[in-house]
Amino acid sequence: MAPLNCSRLTMISLVLSVLIIGSANAQLSTNFYSKTCPKLSTTVKSTLQTAISKEARMGASILRLFFHDCFVNGCDGSILLDDTSSFTGEKNANPNRNSARGFDVIDNIKTAVENVCPGVVSCADILAIAAADSVAILGGPTWNVKLGRRDAKTASQSAANTAIPAPTSNLNTLTSMFSAVGLSSKDLVTLSGAHTIGQARCTNFRARIYNETNINAAFASTRQSNCPKASGSGDNNLAPLDLQTPSSFDNNYFKNLVQNKGLLHSDQQLFNGGSTNSIVSGYSTSPSSFSSDFAAAMIKMGNIKPLTGSNGEIRKNCRKTN
């Protein structure tokens, strides 16, 4: 066989390099599993619907898991990993400890998906689909979820402690933390609208309802009735993030902010005389604008540093690496 000349060798090398780079940096797509797992969408939604039917709050919990996953080294399923004697995950980081929930629901969805297409769908993608379905089931917008993520083999408790915005954050901190993951101040306001569903613990809003002045007095009084002033008393008592319709995905969250009825300090920061006031005002009067912008922002957030191609793995069990 004749030896390959230099230019041909160079061309082959270039093609191989492109293939390798392409596999490592593959783009997410909405039809990623259309042939390998055609029943994926119906399987996820039916399992999730059962969970939300039992407890409406679960939809908000799943959506929050996705946020907390994406903000820590990208949307890679790292938040789902359990701690072991030789591995420290993100579940006990300050933003997640005693508050992140819904892991058992993701486990149930993963089991159902494995039954129809074993070894095909990542836990990171299951979480992304479940977050979108949660919004839709609770009456919010729908969007075509981009898929093709693979699962991280590592996690970072320290990154979870520093990258996830705290309920005590001010507007500058919120803006910079969102900017750090490629999200704009508009995305910040839009995605904060996820607080139209779900509950918060007394420990996370106590300082606001007792100490802050930019709060509706009657609203503060209502919340104080179930959240004692003394730290350590009633810390885990819950209150709805949206006073009016805590189990419906709508724009009431923004109406509340305009009336100084934001539950968390970080919520009310979005409407406190700063640069985001006009966005909040707009969403408070236009539910359709909020819905369409929320769908777009969720797709954008879902694109934060995904592992694709030959990176990561497809976990068999979402709680541990293969």
pTM of the model: 0.90
Cβ atoms of residues 317 and 77 within 8 Å: no
pLDDT score recorded for residue 30? 96
Q: pLDDT tens string for the chain (322 positions)?
A: 455 454 554 444 544 444 444 334 458 999 999 999 999 999 999 999 999 999 999 999 999 999 999 999 999 999 999 999 999 999 999 999 988 999 999 999 999 999 999 999 999 999 999 999 999 999 999 999 999 999 999 999 999 999 999 999 999 999 999 999 999 999 999 999 999 999 999 999 999 999 999 999 999 999 999 999 999 999 999 999 998 899 999 999 999 999 999 999 999 999 999 999 999 999 999 999 999 999 999 999 999 999 999 999 999 999 999 9
pLDDT per residue over 192-231, tens digit each? Answer: 999 999 999 999 999 999 999 999 999 999 999 999 999 9
pLDDT score recorded for residue 98? 87
pLDDT score recorded for residue 54? 96
Q: What is the 3-state secondary structure (H, E, C) of the chain?
A: CCCCCHHHHHHHHHHHHHHHHHHHCCCCECCCCCCCCCCHHHHHHHHHHHHHHHCCHHHHHHHHHHHHHHCCCCCCCHHHCCCECCECCCCCCCCCCCCCCCHHHHHHHHHHHHHHCCCCCCHHHHHHHHHHHHHHHCCCCCCCCCECCEECCCCCHHHHHHHCCCCCCCHHHHHHHHHCCCCCHHHHHHHHHHHHCCEEEHHHHHHHHHHCCCCCHHHHHHHHCCCCCCCCCCCCCEEECCCCCCCCCCCHHHHHHHCCCCCCHHHHHHHCCCCCHHHHHHHHHCHHHHHHHHHHHHHHHHCCCCECCCCCECCCECCECC
Q: Is 90 annotated as a binding residue?
A: yes
Which tokens in the block code for residue 6?
A: 């230099």
Cβ atoms of residues 312 and 122 within 8 Å: yes
Q: Is 250 annotated as a binding residue?
A: yes
Cβ atoms of residues 222 and 246 within 8 Å: no
Cβ atoms of residues 311 and 150 within 8 Å: yes
Phi, psi (5° rounding) for residue 158?
-65, -40
Catalytic residues: 68
Q: Is 196 annotated as a binding residue?
A: yes
Question: What's the CA gap between 179 and 189, in Å, rounded?
Answer: 12
pLDDT score recorded for residue 283? 98
The CA-atom distances, in angstroms, between 79 and each of 65, 102, 118, 223, 313 are: 7, 11, 22, 31, 15
pLDDT score recorded for residue 24? 40
Q: Is 43 annotated as a binding residue?
A: no
Q: Can you list the domains of the chain with their CATH numbers? A: 39-163 (1.10.520.10), 171-301 (1.10.420.10)
pLDDT score recorded for residue 27? 86
pLDDT score recorded for residue 196? 97
> Residue written as tokens 């933390």?
177
**Other CB atoms closer than 10 Å to residue 172's CB: what's the count?**
11
